[in-house]
Amino acid sequence: MLLAHRIRIDASAAQRDYFARAAGTARRVWNWALAEWQRQAALGHQPNALALKKQFNAIKYQDPAWLDADGNPWLRTIHRDAHAQPFANLARAWRRYFEQRRAGGKAHPPRFKKKGRCPDVFYVANDKFRLEGMSAVLPKVGRVALREALRWPGRILGASVSREAGNWFLSVQVEVPEQAAGRRRSGDGVTGVDLGVTSAATLASGEKIAAPRPLKGALRRLRIRSRRLSRKLERAKAAAGIKGRVPKGTRLPVSKNRTKGALALARLQARIARVRRDFTHKLTTRLCRENQAVAIEDLHVKGMLANARLSRAIADVGFYEIRRQLLYKAARYGTCIVLADRWYPSSRLCSACDTRNGTLALGERAWTCANCGAHHDRDVNAAINLQRLATGALAARTALPEASPAATPGTAAGIDPAAGGKVTPARHEHGQQDGSGQEEDAEHVCSPLR
């Protein structure tokens, strides 16, 4: 199983300077490779990343565009991994683009990277660095202090150094043996989870877990800092005699106040992301640790974000990230994840008599069944219906042979899938259901790990 550990680096001023130059080198090499790829494609050739890399290696120490003011090749001061990996990344981006086009989906070709508009990151191969407790020895900069030691045992596949709001992080990708990656559950419950805006997660037990909603709490400060930075930018444009949009290729003078304003805004945005990430990790870990089966809805998050009134609140909770983390953590805890079809009427079905309330509006948070008279909290009722699907999935899992191991979408490293499997559900094995056919539409993602 592939896992990644992101560790903050306590870097010195000289090390931060090198990291910034290495990230800039990776960005510039990407732009060169993309421009050359497009040029060759326009001439009717079939470019490939390996040929572009050989072409670049032949000129990188000689071409005047890659020499400093004294005529020396400045790329010699940057480790080669920083300007070699962009070619592999570009090949992967083009391959993904053509695969999406063949599949008939929306596809976007690779784009040029602009300083300040893209993440600052560069790659380090696994044989070019080593970890020693709470420190790492990186090429060109030597030993750097880390905030914590690597938590995963296993074979290190590579690492990347990235910047977030002025802080640098080392993200190490590790191939962890399944025995070491597996975690023991503290309980064997079965639950359904209804995701929402008022409560981030409502469990079938009736417990409602509120989201911190960090964006809502920091929105006023975010607007203030954004306005301050915008005023500094307008002042820089006025000093340069520019009105309207900045012409392409024009660099505005950078003042210290504008740099400090941009850093203050970035730090606030990073804090918002950290609070949301911390809540999501704790919630998903708890659900997988305490349950052998968890049912969630396959929400169409992109379509939900089209609602102008709810889009900010939905994005502040992070529905899709909760699902993504549940899927890869289920493989570690041996938890069965049931993805209910997005058209499943979990809120409209009476969990007591299976009667469907077709007139239930979005604003009605509680309703009474006209058939049996049961009074339901909308979110709790939906979680109970999802719990019944999870119970049926476990019954089908024990009654039917499991399919061959397949890929479970989504991993902590975000690159390769974790091992998993799918169980084919059967209607008669699920017991009493709602009669809507949902038990045949649900996707059951169950991990073979114990």
Q: What is the mean pLDDT of each run of 10 residues along the chain (450 residues)?
A: 94 96 97 97 94 95 92 94 96 95 91 92 96 95 96 94 95 93 91 91 93 93 96 90 83 89 95 96 95 91 88 92 93 92 88 87 87 89 91 67 36 36 33 40 55
Instruction: Answer yes or no: are the C-beta atoms of 23 and 79 closer than 8 Å.
Output: no
Q: Looking at the structure, tell me whether residues 163 and 193 fall in a common domain.
A: no
Asked if residue 244 is part of any domain, the answer here is no
Asked if residue 64 is part of any domain, the answer here is yes
In the block, tokens 């890659």 appear at 66
pLDDT value at position 446? 63
Asked if residue 416 is part of any domain, the answer here is yes
Give the angle subtended at the CA of 320 by the CAs of 319 and 325, to the nearest 5°. Answer: 105
Asked if residue 234 is part of any domain, the answer here is no
What is the Cα–Cα distance from 120 to 246, expressed in whole angstroms?
Answer: 23
Q: Can you name the residues that pair with 194 across neighbouring β-strands?
A: 202
Asked if residue 219 is part of any domain, the answer here is no
Asked if residue 311 is part of any domain, the answer here is yes
Q: Looking at the structure, tell me whether residues 83 and 194 fall in a common domain.
A: no
Domain range spanning residue 349? Answer: 189-210+287-446
Q: Looking at the structure, tell me whether residues 353 and 206 fall in a common domain.
A: yes
Which one of 181, 197, 218 terminates a domain?
Answer: 181
Q: Looking at the structure, tell me whether residues 174 and 33 fall in a common domain.
A: yes
Q: Using alpha carbons, select from 18, 54, 64, 61 the residue that is nearest to residue 33.
A: 54
Q: Looking at the structure, tell me whether residues 58 and 204 fall in a common domain.
A: no
Domain count, the chain: 2
Q: Looking at the structure, tell me whether residues 156 and 200 fall in a common domain.
A: no
**Cβ neighbours around 443 below 10 Å, total:** 14
The H or E element that residue 398 is part of is helix 378-399
Q: Can you name the residues that pair with 338 across neighbouring β-strands?
A: 295, 444
Q: Looking at the structure, tell me whether residues 429 and 350 fall in a common domain.
A: yes
Q: Looking at the structure, tell me whether residues 196 and 106 fall in a common domain.
A: no
pLDDT value at position 427? 33
pTM recorded for the entire structure: 0.83
Q: Looking at the structure, tell me whether residues 77 and 200 fall in a common domain.
A: no
What is the Cα–Cα distance from 411 to 407, expressed in whole angstroms?
Answer: 10
pLDDT value at position 362? 83
Asked if residue 36 is part of any domain, the answer here is yes
Q: Looking at the structure, tell me whether residues 87 and 196 fall in a common domain.
A: no
| 348-354-358-363 Cα dihedral, nearest 10 degrees | -20
pLDDT value at position 435? 39
Q: Looking at the structure, tell me whether residues 431 and 334 fall in a common domain.
A: yes
The H or E element that residue 333 is part of is helix 319-333
Q: Using alpha carbons, select from 180, 217, 213 the residue that is nearest to residue 198.
A: 213
Asked if residue 265 is part of any domain, the answer here is no
pLDDT value at position 323? 93
Q: Looking at the structure, tell me whether residues 83 and 206 fall in a common domain.
A: no
Instruction: Answer yes or no: are the C-beta atoms of 292 and 189 closer than 8 Å.
Output: yes
